[in-house]
């Protein structure tokens, strides 16, 4: 059985994470597609992932946005499992915050899941009047509101904060009157009255590409701990040199758990955090990755660059992508403080046999030499694996390879010219292991109006990085 929408006897989503693992198989996925030269609007692509259909692994619908230059990025939902117990709530609108224009689109995915349509829009003026801009993560709240993180002020200076919107996408204001130096992602765990938020950098800096000389002044290295009920910061955790640019942040899905992880992009380490006996939140690096030694690259060593992480709904495995190195890793986190490598797959990147750069050391022990990168249905895998999304049953991992248009142009210009991809990885969710599916390839370089850059992946019924349980 596969899903064609989101219909439940109760509210949206599932009663628990384990119930979600038993839900219907995904039949569709939605991805924002970015037009890198801004000559036409970005759009939302609908991809058929039901292997019984003739249109399997094809884009079956494209919904253009209403304006050019939005730079769609991440997405969320108007309602999710956080309000599963409320039958008046429905997961019927995909929320698309625009990173560059500060606009928020609400897309109707319930009327016809295979052909989404525009529903509501929050315009830039409605957003920027709050003093926040450069939007990123959207999460639905149990109250019925929608919360979106911001990374800057309207002038592009660094400023971390959170917007609150209602179901009509009316901007109600900010979630808190406090702000952080930088902003990016967030995750809340209501049973422990806590929210964690992370940091990227200054919009005026990162929207122009990456300059390592600006890391000390223009990029973050802190985690922020918030009192969820009182909406106040209660602790700041400085991650130091081992936690530079902490991006995606995840708690375990079990709402009773105090364990979580963040991927430090530049340092390329996975950092675990939890609450100690005194009630303070503590952290340590639990996966430390060496930087490969390179000849011909911009620097003598290359940061693997962790750009996305997620946790399986049964809280057994952690997955993360190394966008520059070119691999996805799977770790068993049954003991969250001592992860164990369970699988790895190479999907491109800068470390490849026969590539433009020579690797002379520093690769993982399980892959000591530059790996062979496979072709899929005749396609060379350009760029590196970036956004990842796991099926609810934990057996399929979907992958796209665009990070952010300015960074794509800097690090993988051929991918920008030829378009990005979406792949599927077969997962051993019992013993561990990752294997590329050679029959699945979505070619965003062959789009009707020209190549585009595909980003975050969402299922109509919720997934590992959208739903939070209260």
The span from the CA of 375 to the CA of 347, in Å, is 9
Q: Is the pLDDT of residue 284 over 70?
A: yes
pLDDT tens for 234-273 read 999 999 999 999 999 999 999 999 999 999 999 999 999 9
The span from the CA of 82 to the CA of 462, in Å, is 11
**So what's the pLDDT on residue 8?**
39
Alpha-carbon torsion (428, 430, 431, 432), positive or negative: positive
Q: Which residue bears the tokens 């036409």? A: 40
**So what's the pLDDT on residue 86?**
83
Confidence of residue 85 (pLDDT cuts 50, 70, 90): confident
Closest by CA to 238, choosing from 255, 225, 256, 257, is: 225
The span from the CA of 174 to the CA of 162, in Å, is 6
- Residue 13's alpha-carbon distances to 20, 21, 48, 220, 464, in angstroms, are 8, 11, 21, 34, 12
Query: Dihedrals φ, ψ of 414, to 5°?
Result: -65, -35
Q: Which is more confidently placed, 383 or 85?
A: 383
Task: Compute how many other C-beta atoms are within 10 angstroms of the C-beta atom of residue 404.
Answer: 22
Q: Is the pLDDT of residue 439 over 70?
A: yes
CB 300 within 8 A of CB 264: no
Q: Mean pLDDT score of the chain, rounded to an integer?
A: 95
Q: Is the pLDDT of residue 386 over 90?
A: yes
Query: Dihedrals φ, ψ of 164, to 5°?
Result: -120, 130
**So what's the pLDDT on residue 89?**
84
The span from the CA of 247 to the CA of 264, in Å, is 6
* Rounded mean pLDDT, 93-115: 98
Q: Is the pLDDT of residue 52 over 70?
A: yes
pLDDT tens for 134-178 read 999 999 999 999 999 999 999 999 999 999 999 999 999 999 999
**The pTM is what?**
0.96
- Return the percentage of the chain with pLDDT > 70, whole number: 98
- What are the strands, taking DSSP E only, across 35-185? 43-48, 58-64, 76-77, 93-97, 104-108, 117-122, 133-140, 146-152, 158-165, 171-174
* Rounded mean pLDDT, 405-418: 98
**So what's the pLDDT on residue 84?**
85
To the nearest 5 percent, what fractions of the chain are helix, strand and coil?
10, 40, 50
């Amino acid at each position: 059985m596969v899903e064609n929408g989101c219909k439940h006897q109760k509210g949206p989503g599932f009663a628990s994470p384990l119930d979600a693992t038993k839900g219907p198989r995904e039949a569709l996925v939605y991805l924002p597609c970015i037009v890198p030269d801004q000559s036409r609007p970005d759009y939302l692509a609908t991809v058929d992932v039901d292997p019984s259909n003739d249109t399997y692994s094809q884009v079956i619908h494209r919904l253009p946005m209403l304006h050019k230059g939005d730079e769609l990025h991440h997405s969320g939902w108007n309602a999710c499992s956080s309000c599963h117990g409320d039958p008046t709530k429905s997961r019927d609108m995909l929320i698309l915050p625009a990173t560059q224009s500060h606009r928020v689109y609400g897309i109707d995915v319930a009327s016809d899941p295979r052909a989404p349509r525009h529903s509501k829009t929050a315009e830039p003026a409605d957003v920027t009047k709050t003093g926040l801009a450069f939007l990123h993560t959207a999460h639905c709240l149990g109250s019925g509101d929608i919360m979106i993180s911001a990374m800057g002020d309207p002038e592009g200076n660094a400023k971390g904060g959170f917007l609150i919107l209602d179901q009509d996408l009316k901007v109600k204001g900010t979630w808190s009157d406090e702000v952080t130096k930088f902003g990016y992602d967030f995750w809340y765990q209501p049973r422990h009255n806590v929210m964690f938020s992370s940091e990227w950098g200054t919009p005026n800096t990162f929207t122009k590409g990456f300059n390592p000389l600006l890391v000390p002044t223009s990029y973050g290295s802190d985690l922020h701990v918030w009192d969820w009920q009182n909406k106040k910061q209660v602790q700041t955790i400085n991650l130091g040199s081992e936690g530079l640019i902490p991006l995606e942040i995840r708690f375990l899905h079990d709402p009773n758990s105090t364990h979580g992880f963040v991927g430090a992009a530049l340092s390329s380490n996975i950092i675990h955090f939890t609450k100690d006996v005194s009630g303070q939140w503590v952290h340590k690096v639990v996966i430390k990755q060496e930087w490969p030694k390179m000849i011909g690259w911009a620097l003598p060593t290359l940061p693997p660059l962790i750009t996305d992480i997620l946790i399986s709904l049964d809280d057994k495995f952690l997955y993360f992508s190394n966008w520059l190195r070119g691999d996805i890793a799977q770790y068993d986190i049954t003991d969250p403080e001592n992860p164990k490598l369970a699988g790895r797959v190479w999907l491109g990147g800068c470390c490849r046999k026969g590539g433009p750069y020579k690797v002379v050391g520093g690769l993982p022990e399980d892959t000591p030499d530059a790996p062979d990168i496979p072709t899929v249905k005749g396609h060379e895998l350009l760029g590196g694996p970036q956004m990842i999304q796991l099926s609810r049953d934990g057996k399929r991992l979907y992958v796209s390879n665009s990070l952010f248009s300015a960074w794509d142009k800097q690090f993988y210009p051929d991918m920008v010219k030829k378009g990005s991809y979406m792949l599927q990885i077969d997962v051993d969710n019992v013993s561990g292991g990752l294997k590329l599916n050679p029959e699945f390839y979505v070619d965003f370089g062959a789009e009707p109006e020209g190549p585009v850059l595909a980003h975050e992946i969402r299922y109509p019924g919720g997934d590992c990085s959208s739903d939070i349980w209260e």
